[in-house]
Every structure is written in structure tokens, then in C-alpha cells.
């Protein structure tokens, strides 16, 4: 009897590896999964983005449960980010609905945006500490009201970028939160970033489903591997040093981003 939901072992393995990385660092989901779908599995960029967004919403829900049980989610930060990201995501989806995402124009827009975001993500990984040393002291003097407003603005920017490319909620979001909340432990920054990604990617993913850019069989394969991966990775978040993974991920993103853009 044929399977109603066939699972490609290579797709499931990709989900497992990316899930481990997301759970540990709060980054690497869209940054790696969308390029993997485009470059290794030959998926159209629009379909890769839509599929990855729904994949991210489901896997990061599992990661949020683990971080929530560990007490590593700052819900105040999550609310501020979502206040900006959810409306921005909805507005971006309305614009994308008027673009032929499967045509040459839509392909170019998504590929260039995706490649550019991968390079920016890599830079944020490699030079995060230098950037924090340069900008951090100035932001540390801001009032709580100004910090809240900037957090909403960060959420708005992430809403636009993630909806178009599925990239940015991890490394760029974490870097922004470290700048705005320097006294918050890193585990809580990662947990808050993952928790915020749930409504952001869910709304964006459902919007792409409405537009018609989701591959459901591939989504099933990714979920099969990524759920156990992100649960294990979330438990390891406070035990595995991030600096071990950061340079490898950054170099990979620069190579992949350059290939997508050029």
C-alpha cells in the first residue's frame, strides 16, 4: 500500500540537523533550511520560503515549550516583538499576493533578498561582539520606553524580511535583543527569540499557503526530523558554547548567500 505522506530520508535528516542548531542557538532555521531546499533539493525559492516558514512555526513551537519549561523565555520581550512583526507580516503578504512568485520576477526578488539576508546574518555572527562593544554602551543609556519602542521596530523589520526570505528571526533577531537587553542572560535571549518566531512564522507561513507556495510532502519530512532535533538542541542550549558553532555557520552562510545572489 503506498504511503499517504511519503518521507524523504534526506529531507528528514536535514530537518534533524537544522533543528539541533536552532534549539541550541536560536538561529540557523531559515538561514540554512531555505537554501538547502533551493540548492540541494531544487525547490523553487518561493515554495522553499513558504514551506520553511510553516516548518519553522511548528518546530519553534516545540522549542518554545522546552524553553518555557526551563524558564528561559522573557514574555515581555516576545510581546513587544510580535506587536511589530505580526502587522508587518500581514502587510508584506498582501504585497506579495500581487506578485507572481513563481515567475522570473518573483524568483529574482526572493533569491536576491534571501542571499543578501544570509550575508548579513553571517556578518552578525562573525562581528556581533565588536558591534555590541561599539553600539551597546549608547543603547544601555536609553529609557525603558525607548527600549520598548525599538523592540517593536525590530519586530517590524523582522516581519518584512522573514516573510520575504524566511531569514532573520534567528541571528539578526538575537543580535538586536542582546543590544537592547544586555543584562538578560543569553539563554533567555535565545528562548525569547524562538518564542517570538512562532507567531511570526505561523502568520507568514499561512499567508504563503494562501498564496500557494507550500510543499506539503516536503514539510512533513522536515517536521519528522526537526521536532526531535530542536527538543534536544533546546536542552543543550545552556551547555554547548555558541562560539563553537558560530564561525562554521557564518562561513557557510556567506558561501550560500553569494551563490544565491550571483
List pLDDT tens digits, range 163-192: 998 887 777 788 888 889 988 888 888 889
d(CA 165, CA 25): 20
Assigned C-alpha cell, 81 = 516583538
Q: Quick check: 260 and 90 in contact, CB under 8 A?
A: no
Is 107 or 28 the better-scoring residue by pLDDT?
107
d(CA 220, CA 34): 15
Q: Could you tell me which residues come within 8 angstroms of residue 96 by beta carbon, excluding any fewer than 6 positions away? A: 163, 164, 207, 211
Average pLDDT, the chain: 82
Supply the pLDDT for residue 3.
46
Confidence at 248, pLDDT banded by 50, 70, 90: low
Confidence at 151, pLDDT banded by 50, 70, 90: very high
The phi-psi region of residue 71 (left if phi > 0; otherwise alpha if psi is between -120 and 50; otherwise beta) is left
pLDDT, tens digit, for every residue of 204-233?
A: 999 999 988 899 988 988 888 877 877 777
Q: Quick check: 211 and 44 in contact, CB under 8 A?
A: no
d(CA 35, CA 227): 20
Q: Quick check: 25 and 248 in contact, CB under 8 A?
A: no
d(CA 154, CA 168): 11
pLDDT, tens digit, for every residue of 88-102?
A: 999 999 988 887 776
CA distances from 65 to 117, 129, 174, 182, 229 (A): 28, 29, 19, 24, 14
d(CA 258, CA 256): 5
**In the chain, what is the greatest distance between 2 CA atoms, to the nearest angstrom?**
65
Supply the pLDDT for residue 89.
96
Residue found under cell 516583538: 81
d(CA 221, CA 226): 9
d(CA 249, CA 238): 19
Percent of the chain with pLDDT over 90: 24
Evaluate if residue 199 carries a pLDDT over 80: yes
Instruction: Write out the H or E segment, with its range, that includes residue 74.
Output: none
Q: Quick check: 222 and 58 in contact, CB under 8 A?
A: no
The pTM is what?
0.80
Amino acid at each position: 500500500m503506498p504511503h499517504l505522506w511519503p518521507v524523504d530520508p534526506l529531507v528528514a535528516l536535514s530537518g534533524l540537523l537544522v533543528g539541533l542548531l536552532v534549539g541550541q542557538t536560536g538561529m540557523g532555521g531559515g538561514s540554512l533550511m531555505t537554501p538547502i531546499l533551493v540548492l540541494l533539493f531544487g525547490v523553487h525559492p518561493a515554495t522553499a520560503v513558504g514551506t520553511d516558514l510553516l516548518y519553522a512555526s511548528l518546530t519553534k513551537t516545540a522549542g518554545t515549550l522546552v524553553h518555557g519549561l526551563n524558564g528561559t523565555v522573557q514574555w515581555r520581550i516576545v510581546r513587544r516583538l510580535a506587536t511589530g512583526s505580526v502587522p508587518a507580516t500581514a502587510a508584506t503578504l498582501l504585497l506579495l499576493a500581487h506578485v507572481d512568485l513563481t515567475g522570473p520576477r518573483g524568483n529574482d526578488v526572493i533569491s536576491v533578498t534571501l542571499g543578501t539576508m544570509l550575508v548579513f546574518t553571517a556578518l552578525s555572527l562573525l562581528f556581533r561582539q565588536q558591534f555590541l562593544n561599539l553600539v551597546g554602551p549608547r543603547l544601555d543609556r536609553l529609557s525603558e520606553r525607548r527600549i520598548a519602542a525599538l523592540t517593536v521596530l525590530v519586530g517590524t523589520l523582522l516581519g518584512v524580511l522573514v516573510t520575504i526570505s524566511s531569514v532573520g528571526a534567528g541571528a539578526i533577531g538575537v543580535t538586536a535583543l542582546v543590544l537592547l537587553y544586555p543584562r538578560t542572560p543569553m539563554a533567555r535571549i535565545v528562548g525569547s527569540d524562538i518564542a517570538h518566531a512562532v507567531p511570526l512564522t505561523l502568520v507568514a507561513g499561512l499567508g504563503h499557503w494562501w498564496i500557494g507556495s507550500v510543499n506539503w510532502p516536503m514539510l512533513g519530512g522536515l517536521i519528522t526530523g526537526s521536532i526531535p532535533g530542536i527538543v534536544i538542541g533546546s536542552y543543550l542550549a545552556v551547555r554547548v558554547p555558541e562560539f563553537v558553532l558560530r564561525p562554521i555557520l557564518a562561513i557557510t552562510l556567506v558561501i550560500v548567500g553569494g551563490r544565491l545572489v550571483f
